[in-house]
Amino acid sequence: MSAAPHVPVLLEEVIAALDPQPGDVVIDATFGAGGYTRALLDRGATVHAFDRDPDAIAAGQRWAETQESPPRLVLHPHRFSEMLDVMTSVGLARVDGVVMDIGVSSMQLDQAHRGFAFSADGPLDMRMSQDGASAADFLNTADEKAIADVLYTYGEERQSRRVARAIVAARPLETTGELARIVRRALGHKPHDKKDPATRTFQAVRIHVNGELDELSAGLSAAESLLREGGRLAVVSFHSLEDRIVKRFLREASSTPSASRHVPLAAQDDPVFSQVSKAIKPGEAELERNPRARSSVLRHATRTATPAREAA
């Protein structure tokens, strides 16, 4: 039942990017097991930590209670898309840093009852926040085309229609094991395949159930509004769909729209971020310690003085 604690990914690089100073206020948008939070507290920062998973917040709360008073760790049981409203409501609408570590934690993945993993059998759940529609609700009620679209868009599953057909034919589905078997049967699983063919379907359904890509876009935009001039943004993502969103956001945020007769002068604002890093990946030593870091990518940037753009 109990899961190994989450090992923070690219920790040194993330902390170097944020460069927290004593007294700084930093948002850890994805608290998880608090790996980044702990390092930020050690550097003397105050941390406002968000997580949509009540289990992560409950574990954090027990830890926060052992902290000094007034507390330098404040936990918010909210989605990071709500960061701007929550921070404004506590009177901290300007912060020195924001870090986002997108995706699921080891605790979520390893606990079969959360229904994220195909390696262990559990209920077909996958909800980080433990409320709303579950993976089973979606897969047992959506029409075949809607399922195929999700698998194609969020899992880059080329045989999405075949898999969706097999899912619909096997309904109702109740467990992660059933879903994995259906996908493997539909795609033809060879025992020596390097990657389980169910991987793409599980990723897609998880992203859909949690609205992960919309969350990421909204979180980046909230970070733009919250960061003071000189404040740092660091984002760790785990697959190309997420990294593409982060990369495009930083490219647009750090460029000056070229003068065009179609763009009114007032819209030709200066960049809102500068010093955008390249993609930073874990080195061999980290991968040896923590194979789950394999697909992680860090990108970071520094906020300029230009007012935040209107959220899309």
Ligand X SMILES: C[S@@+](CC[C@H](N)C(=O)[O-])C[C@H]1O[C@@H](n2cnc3c(N)ncnc32)[C@H](O)[C@@H]1O
Residues in touch with ligand X (CB under 6 A): 6, 8, 30, 32-36, 50-53, 56, 79-80, 101, 103-105, 128, 215
Burial of 129 (0-12, 13-18, 19+ CB in 10 A): middle
The nearer residue to ligand X, 32 or 97, going by C-beta atoms, is 32
CB of 40 to ligand X, least distance (A): 11
Q: Which helix (H) or strand (E) holds 223?
A: helix 212-226
DSSP state of 49: E
The nearer residue to ligand X, 148 or 209, going by C-beta atoms, is 209
CB of 267 to ligand X, least distance (A): 29
CB of 231 to ligand X, least distance (A): 19
CB of 56 to ligand X, least distance (A): 4
CB of 14 to ligand X, least distance (A): 8
The nearer residue to ligand X, 27 or 166, going by C-beta atoms, is 27
- Strands (DSSP E) along 51-179, which ranges? 73-76, 95-101
φ/ψ (deg, to 5) at 223 = -65, -40
b/e 198-228 (16+ beta carbons within 10 angstroms → b): bebbbbbbbbbbbebbebbbbbbbbbbbbbe
How far apart, in whole angstroms, are the C-alpha atoms of residue 107 and residue 291? 15
The nearer residue to ligand X, 154 or 159, going by C-beta atoms, is 154
The nearer residue to ligand X, 50 or 249, going by C-beta atoms, is 50
